[in-house]
A and B are shown apart, each in its own frame.
Chain A
Amino acid sequence: MKCLLIASESAEVLFHWTDLEFQQNIQKQYGASQEEGQRFPAFEDMISTQFAPIIISCSTIVDRQSDSYTSFTTENNHIYVLHQFDECLYIAVNGDGEEKEDDLRRKIYVMKKMIEVRFGMVTLSGALLKRELRPQDTEQRARLWKQLQKLLETYSRLRENDQSFLVEAVERLIHPTLCEQCIEFLERRLVQQLNSSVDRAGEEVLHAFILVHTKLLAFYSSRNASTLATSDLLALIIMAQNMCPSNVDLDDPSPESTSGSGPESFYTPEPSPTDRDSKKPVRESPPLFEFVDPDIQMAEDSLHTLEVSPPDPSAPRRVFLEVHLKDGLYPMMPHSMYCLPLWPGITLVLLTKIPTSAVAMSVYKFLEAFAKLEKRLNEGQSPAAAKSQLTTLDIRGKLDKFIKALGPSELQFGHLQSVWTDFKSRAFTKGGSGFTEDLIPSCKAMKTQLCGVYRHCFFTDSGSADTPRWLSPALQERAQTMVQDKLIDWKDFLLVKSKRNITMVSYPISLVHFICVDRSTGQMIAPSLSITERTTSELGKGPVAQYIKSKVWGLVSTTRRYLQKGYSTVTLRDGDFYFCYFLWFENETGYKLEAGDIPTLPDDSAPIGMLAWDYYRKLLRYYRKNHQGEAVKCYELLTIHLAVIPTDIILQHCRQLATKLWEPSRNPLL
């Protein structure tokens, strides 16, 4: 019995996902509280009614007690985890004991991450986000929710079955020669050709990678691209898995192993074609947005005119990813994502920079400036100090220019201009409020308008219909064919290899399993553990393999709990097994640095991992404070041994693994 709900403070449902059991439960409960003979309303209304007391109590507690609920448990071990992000309250429920509190909290954070990848900076405006998540048009709403539900299910399935999503690090396919060849191919042939084509409509391929199931065969980034954050890469893999699911998972005969298989039985199937054998790329329709809300002073009228056109099958996905440039970090910058299936299980992903992305950077800078100003005003800083926020970077001058460049042609831009004029008259003229608390509403209004501009630029197809707006279908098809030709002889090998990436043959017999993660690059190595009817790992199949798998999953969550409380070494004797966990730091030459202090975090802090919230990036930054000027790397090792082996020997094994696994000679890729 599972559920994930996003609600506004007024108990309006912004998104919901439930399994069949939970849905039936809600219907039963609702039915019990209704008089007979009444017809059931829409499910979202039922769930809203049933959760309303909790949602309303949440805001009461925040307002009057300056605290907030983080979780509830019941005597029959149901768990409710709650988290408020700005104006959205997330509630995750588990009633079947399959997930712990940490898992639910992680799910909430991952959901938020996926929403950020999808809606970008619009998530910075609560009011706008609420409208995006809950389109007025019920059909559109159903479509959007369905997409998000599928994404969440894909994530849950990966987290429950795939070790790389368990530890949240990318797993590479270990085949040095082929990998090298592929990277060279992507660089010299594919990306070069695409970027020099006239059919690319101003887009520029920044990253190209080939996925075999969830494992990375080759990854190429062009020279002028910023590195792709692990968090974003993991999110993109989830999206790719969602768009082009691996057939392996579909063959899996045990539906229990995938969470939330229920909804399929009551939601209409996705209309998009999923013909696996076709060479045609399979895509989902692009998000379509309608904006109708009288409460917000936005250019609604301009949006009314937008036509809800049928989705273009060649349209890419708009994704918002972090970009690292010399002058700083820009989160949620617009990119196009092309997910081109080569064969079932093997996918080519292209990420392009869109021509108008400079606008996003400007908007972000302005948003940041106004957010900081608002913060200073809230803190009651002196008007001069507050004002300096806008003057030191010459935000005023830059914004004037920016608005001028946008031009008044679009209604939305006109709105920004009028709000900005109003702001200036309040802030800078004598009769205005000056930089005092009274300016806060104007600050908020500016932020909302900027988010509105961002939304207008990147969510809607502003270009005219006759000019191409993305890589032409022909170009996409060419890319697909090129890579297919390159890999055709390897296809079957790769599919098998992805299931047997590392074998345990060369490791001591007493070692049952291990996972090693390089947190500085976000990559992991582990023997394969996939357990399905058709494929067996070295542990075999059936209950023993399933048992060990559950031990691995349990160990990861246990060690995270200790890490959260500042413990970087953990050994456990549990039944027939001996578990070890180590986290350590090295410099670039492999010299082991002294173990440092690891911050202690509260129970309800963001989950430890790299997907939704990059804990390790923060940890490395924290650690580097005492190691200035040195490149610091962070590693983790988890092992499971048979408990009958003397501890000394177990620890020696661990040490050997830790030193050998990342040796360049063993693994030239890493």
Chain B
Amino acid sequence: MQDKLMAELMPPDPRRCNYFFLYDGSKVRGEGDLTREGICYFYPEETLLEKQELLCSQFAGVGRCVSELSSSPVQTLRLRHNKFAIRMKDDFLWALGCSVDVPTVSVCELLDQLINLFCFYNGSVRQSYQLNSQETLAARWARYLSYLQSGSSEMCHIFSCLKTIDSTNVDPLLLLKAALILQACQRCPLVLAGCILFRGRVVSTQMSPELTMKVMVHESETYTKGQRLNGPSTSSSFGGAVSSTTVYLTMSELQYLKSAPVDRDSSSHSTPNKNVPPKKTRLSRTLSDTPSTESEPSYPNSSQTPQKTSFSPHLSGSDNSVCSPTASQSATDSLNLSLLSLRPPLSNGKHCHEAEEEALEESCYHSFHNNGDGSSQIHSEEDSSVFEENSHLNGDGDAAGEAVFDFRGTDSGNEQSHGGGGTDQGRKAEMKDPSHLSGAFDDLEQSPLVDVTLYMHRVKGLVLALLVEPHFLSDAASMEEVYHSSLASLNGLEAHLRTISPGAPGAPGPYVFAHFDCIQSTLTTNLSGRPGGAPEHPFVRATSLLHSHFCNTETLQEAIIRSAGAAVYGTRSVAQETYFQQHGGSLRNSGIPNHQDSAFSLPSKARHRLMKHGVNLL
């Protein structure tokens, strides 16, 4: 944790992105047109203009030629010393260049993230350049790029993961509290979804990882300076703590947010238990974590997680200290609600005010009992396909074994169990499949962008970020309600999060591991942020190779690869990827097949060792 914080303070990793530019071919049509006219933005900005022109003109030329020959836009362009992800759209050409060690999938992902970020805050690119000066927009590209580059380690870059608070050090009740604050805000029908961030890390979110990441950029900006570069309006009645800005969503993003609000992917903090195969859904995980120790002591992961041993006594104690003095009415209410008897569940998409409580209750119920028979009762009235997929998820089937057949099905099942609307079916799967990356991008550019408002309420290092309907700002009553209902809780939450010590960096231990949750886009690792996380680290190198391999081969479930210095085990299921390397021990061997070879005991070692990190590889 210390390392991670340190890393964030350091300048962006120069290794991640060597070049980025946006070139507008429509400005360079005629014979006499200068290449520099078409350069909208070029990073690093200090690059000699001559070199900028060289790269822009050559890439544009080659890009056009190849696109014509293949009747399809260029996606990657590799040189001996740099590899570039390319996007071509309406005369625009984006290129993002990284060192050749970075997996191609990750470079493409980074470029898509960058473009999507720009569109989120500025709307369509063409229009932005018509409305704003090139300098203003250049500053924005620079800001987004620097944000995306400020990942804590090479590992994060490989997976393009979301930065979350280190939940191993955080009382789960605080996470519960955060989730409840968000749920309470949704009582206001104008609130679409929200997330709570602390010092640039996610505490709890109701949005997809992609959307959360986008929102975080604005947060980091307001956090570092009180500047309002993006021109947000500040409501004076709430002091400087509240700000808002217009952001743009794609139709599918908006539909997803507008579908049943409660069933959405509601909390995305990185609890160790997130590694549990999808049978433990992420619906209000904070809630489900809490009772599971008591009601199901035999549950394999939670019962062995170290902090759980001290958890039960902690629960009552911290309950008072956390909730009582500061907790808002709504938070307490929802806790109470959760203990009430079951009421008929809601139909999807319904989000009138009165329905909120029921919905809330359903989610509570669901998370309490999602391993029990109750789930069939809950879903009996829902779409049967949702039920089937859920029951499948909740079943005890080996997720890894089913990867082959259910890659898409299970995945969309996940989405559906939260969103219910089914609009995002298979979206996750597509995100991880490099061939679909451009598809995601296409959606964004082609579908009309809808403007909504990003509302932010800051309490020191803590931020409540909500995506709200645009007229929320003019609706004083709603604003007041949201502000006041959450203020006390936020203060309390902030006070507690602030006092939590960063915690000792994970003991180096005789092994390293990395666990990536593909659904929430979060990474758990005991590899220190830096310098151990540098790309030359054997574990990072192996992980990067294996991750690419997993991305490109849907049927691959597990792999062991060994070089002279390291043997690394990688395994994946629909929802997660896990990498493990055992230190020490003699790797001395002849390389000839031998079942007693230590490399082949990695899978069982990983299963055993990672249990205490809450990673269940069974």
Contacts and interface: CB of A to CB of B under 8 A. Distances in A.
B71 interface: yes
Interface in B549-565: 549, 553, 555-565
Interface stretch (B59-67, B297-305, B455-463, B503-511): B59-67
Nearest to A639: B593
B217 interface: no
B225 interface: no
Interface stretch (A428-436, A449-457, A522-530, A652-660): A652-660
Contacts of B597: 651
Contacts of B595: 647-649, 651-652, 655
Contact of A580 (B81, B100, B557, B593): B593
A384 interface: no
A574 B588 contact: no
B589 A69 contact: no
B592 interface: yes
B559 A67 contact: no
Interface in A547-606: 558, 561-562, 565-575, 580, 582-586, 592-598, 602-604
B72 interface: yes
B553 A569 contact: no
A25 B600 CA distance: 50
Interface residues of B, number: 59
A136 interface: no
A651 B599 contact: no
Contacts of B558: 572-573
A70 B65 contact: no
Contacts of A50: 65, 68-69
Nearest to A583: B591
A73 interface: yes
A77 interface: yes
Contacts of B68: 29, 50
A254 interface: no
Contacts of B65: 50-51, 53-54, 57
Contact of A568 (B51, B61, B75, B562): B562
Given A54-B65, A74-B67, A572-B556, A566 B591 contact: no
A26 B603 CA distance: 51
Interface residues of A, number: 67
B283 interface: no
A456 to B, nearest CB: 37
A592 B590 contact: yes
Given A72-B62, A75-B72, A592 B592 contact: yes
Given A67-B79, A573-B559, A582-B593, A75 B73 contact: yes
A27 interface: no
A393 interface: no
A60 interface: yes
A64 interface: yes
Contacts, number: 180
B5 interface: no
Contacts of B66: 54, 72, 74, 78, 80
Residue of A569, A597, A603 ringed by the most chain B CB atoms within 10 A: A569
B419 to A, nearest CB: 28
B594 to A, nearest CB: 6
- Tell me whether chain B's interface is mostly helix, strand or loop, or mixed: mixed
B344 to A, nearest CB: 43
A628 interface: no
A595 B78 contact: no
A648 B588 CA distance: 19
A25 B69 contact: yes
A74 B560 CA distance: 31
B562 A584 contact: no
A95 interface: yes
Contacts of B542: 567
Contacts of A566: 563-564
A569 B557 contact: no
A480 to B, nearest CB: 45
B404 to A, nearest CB: 5
B591 A585 contact: yes
B29 interface: no
A651 B603 CA distance: 14
B580 to A, nearest CB: 14
Interface in B343-370: none
Interface SS, A side = mixed
Contacts of B591: 568-569, 582-585, 592, 595
Given A72-B62, A567-B563, A570-B561, A594 B589 contact: yes
Nearest to B58: A57
Interface string A601-613: 0111000000000
A580 B549 CA distance: 16
Nearest to B562: A569
Given A73-B75, A569-B591, A658-B593, A53 B64 contact: yes
A585 B71 CA distance: 48
Interface string B484-518: 00000000000000000000000000000000000
Most-contacted residue by chain A among B78, B553, B599 (CB, 10 A):
B78
B80 A604 contact: yes
A655 B55 CA distance: 53
A177 interface: no
B49 interface: no
A601 to B, nearest CB: 12
Contacts of B69: 25-26, 29, 50-51, 78, 93
A637 interface: yes
A585 B556 CA distance: 29
Interface string A176-197: 0000000000000000000000
A126 B308 CA distance: 72
A38 interface: no
27 contacts: A26-B69, A50-B68, A51-B69, A53-B64, A53-B65, A57-B58, A57-B62, A68-B79, A70-B78, A72-B74, A74-B75, A75-B73, A76-B71, A93-B69, A561-B545, A562-B561, A565-B541, A568-B591, A570-B562, A574-B555, A597-B564, A598-B564, A602-B80, A647-B600, A648-B600, A651-B597, A655-B592
Interface of B: 51, 54-55, 58, 61-62, 64-82, 100, 404, 435, 438, 541-542, 545, 549, 553, 555-565, 567, 587-595, 597, 599-600, 603
Interface of A: 25-26, 29, 50-51, 53-54, 57, 60-61, 64-65, 67-78, 80, 93, 95, 558, 561-562, 565-575, 580, 582-586, 592-598, 602-604, 637, 647-649, 651-652, 654-655, 657-658
Question: Nearest 10 pairs between A and B by C-beta?
Answer: A654-B593, A592-B590, A651-B595, A584-B591, A595-B591, A76-B72, A78-B70, A53-B65, A569-B562, A575-B555
Given A57-B65, A584-B591, A594-B588, 5 more contacts: A69-B77, A572-B558, A592-B592, A597-B563, A603-B100
